[in-house]
Amino acid sequence: MDHARIPRGRRAVRVFRSVIFRAVMTAVLGLFPPFPKAEQRLNAQGPQPDSMADFRQRLQNLAELSPDPCGPHFGGEKGWDSTKDERRLLSRAARTVAEGLNAVPANARQPKERAAEALKKLEALSAEINGAWPEENRFHFQILDIPPALVVKMTIRTVARYFVYAIPDEDLSGKSTIWQEVGRDDLSFQHDSASSLIELFALRRAASGNARFLARIEYFGCAGSIGVVHDAREWNSKGMGGLARVIEQEGALGLDDKVPGFPHIGELRTEGSRITLPYCWFSAIDTWDNPSLCAVDTYDLSGDSVRFRSRIYNRPDLLPVAKVLQYAEQRDYLAVRGYCASSELARRVVRELPPDFVAGDIRVIRTGIGKERVELGDGAYRFDVERRDGRWLAVGFGIQ
């Protein structure tokens, strides 16, 4: 919100509430042992010995496992269910980065250089302890510098995570002079998988100057398809700071990028005021362990708010069939109606379509200009689709 446009009365109320909040927090914190002073934390000479010792021990614990849980000599059930240990090790590394950023003299080197110095020590430890592993499975890092924030990707074994560091304008005491971890990816907890990959991209800044970045995350097991997430964040240092998610888009990749009749669409573009994010997803018209339907979304980053602009599909003619099948299985008439030309057709599909429908195979026959017949399950099920007013709709449905 633009503070210059807040009426004077409302601004006074906001200031009063802020004063009351700080007073209450000060009283509450007074009941507990005080936190170390900022000066004491700033005087820390980089990673402390106990930090390095803890990281070393965690590396040694992981060294007992195979470098890849999906490799030919993986460590059995213990090796598969080690993701929590890897996350803890990366969280320990994240704390070490914060210590390195706040090392004295803080202005001797750029923040990226201080973070890299701390991380290189961890890399050296991993090279020593995990020397029997392939080089790519040992601890590594990448730093994305988007002042006034740093985004650090860390990897160990087959797991990747990212952590974000910045200095908020204020802390509970009303001022802040130290680097803090202000956010991290939380998608790794939502998708428990054996492996993950992360790519980081700097995005165009908000009109206000806030830094933005995109993380493209892939997560997968030892076999089967791959999940994909586009996770875009924006850092605002005002007040106590905030790392907001501005884009979250989930999709999938299959075993083979080439599905006959279903071309991929769009390219990943992260530069400039408009970015494009391509993705695919699984649907009821898939015929193998490959997502057939794909799309590319366009977002406008030119203002203070990230705005969705458009979505283009690789097979817009088959989209209504996939959506009707999806929502009819859930008996969601209103959702089915949005992809049907009439309410009678939508009710019939919801009433007659069997549960757990799988296409098995798909055959598309052109029946006229902007008209097609879509046969599924060796012709056992049929949809007629037409292009009307710039969009495709289901106009007919039959069961053999």
- Is residue 351 domain-shared with residue 290, that is, in the same domain? no
Contact between residue 198 and residue 153 where contact means Cβ atoms under 8 Å apart: yes
Which of 293, 313, 333 is a domain's end point?
313
Which of 278, 313, 348 is a domain's end point?
313
Measure the CA–CA gap between 69 and 221, rounded to whole angstroms: 9
- Is residue 329 domain-shared with residue 354, that is, in the same domain? yes
Structure tokens at 80: 């598969």
Q: What is the DSSP letter of 43?
A: T
C-alpha radius of gyration, the chain, whole number: 26
* Interacting residues of 66 by C-beta distance below 8 A, sequence separation 6+: 73, 74, 75, 79
pLDDT at 52: 84
pLDDT at 34: 37
- Is residue 2 domain-shared with residue 78, that is, in the same domain? no
Q: What is the DSSP string of 13-37?
A: HHHHHHHHHHHHHHHHHTTSPPPPP
pLDDT at 186: 81
* Interacting residues of 310 by C-beta distance below 8 A, sequence separation 6+: 297, 298
Measured at the alpha carbon of residue 320, what is the angle toward residues 316 and 325, in degrees to the nearest 5?
135
Instruction: Name the burial class of residue 368, with classes exposed (0-12), middle (13-18) and buried (19+) by CB atoms within 10 angstroms of its CB.
Output: exposed
Q: Residue 174 in 3-state DSSP?
A: coil
Could you identify the residue written with the tokens 């009426």?
7
- Is residue 179 domain-shared with residue 241, that is, in the same domain? yes
Please state the pTM of the whole predicted model: 0.81
- Is residue 287 domain-shared with residue 341, that is, in the same domain? no
| The residue count for the chain | 400
Please name every residue paired with 383 in a beta bridge, in sequence order, or none if there are none: 374, 397
Phi and psi (nearest 5°) for 48?
A: -80, 155
- Is residue 389 domain-shared with residue 244, that is, in the same domain? no
Residue 166, by phi and psi: left (phi above 0), alpha (psi -120 to 50) or beta?
Answer: beta
Structure tokens at 46: 């980089």
Measure the CA–CA gap between 199 and 195, rounded to whole angstroms: 14
- Is residue 212 domain-shared with residue 323, that is, in the same domain? no
pLDDT at 37: 38
- Is residue 135 domain-shared with residue 24, that is, in the same domain? no
Measure the CA–CA gap between 283 and 156, rounded to whole angstroms: 33
- Is residue 1 domain-shared with residue 84, that is, in the same domain? no
Contact between residue 231 and residue 212 where contact means Cβ atoms under 8 Å apart: no
- In 282-389, DSSP assigns E strands to 293-300, 307-313, 362-368, 371-376, 381-388
- Is residue 245 domain-shared with residue 323, that is, in the same domain? no
3-state secondary structure 327-345: HHHCCCHHHHHCCECCHHH
Average confidence (pLDDT) per 10 residues, the chain, 400 residues: 35 35 37 36 45 88 87 53 79 94 76 94 96 95 98 95 94 78 79 83 97 95 86 94 95 80 92 96 88 96 97 97 95 97 97 85 94 92 96 95
Give me the domain span that covers residue 23.
1-34
Contact between residue 193 and residue 227 where contact means Cβ atoms under 8 Å apart: yes
Contact between residue 118 and residue 97 where contact means Cβ atoms under 8 Å apart: yes
- Is residue 298 domain-shared with residue 367, that is, in the same domain? no
Contact between residue 254 and residue 224 where contact means Cβ atoms under 8 Å apart: no
- Is residue 278 domain-shared with residue 394, that is, in the same domain? no
Angle subtended by helix axes 111-129 and 83-101, to nearest 10: 140
Overall number of domains in the chain: 3
Structure tokens at 9: 């009365």
Measure the CA dihedral 265/268/274/279, to 10°. Answer: 50
Which helix (H) or strand (E) segment holds residue 230: the answer is: strand 226-236
Which of 297, 313, 329 is a domain's end point?
313
* Torsion 269-275-277-278 (CA) sign: negative
Structure tokens at 63: 């060294």
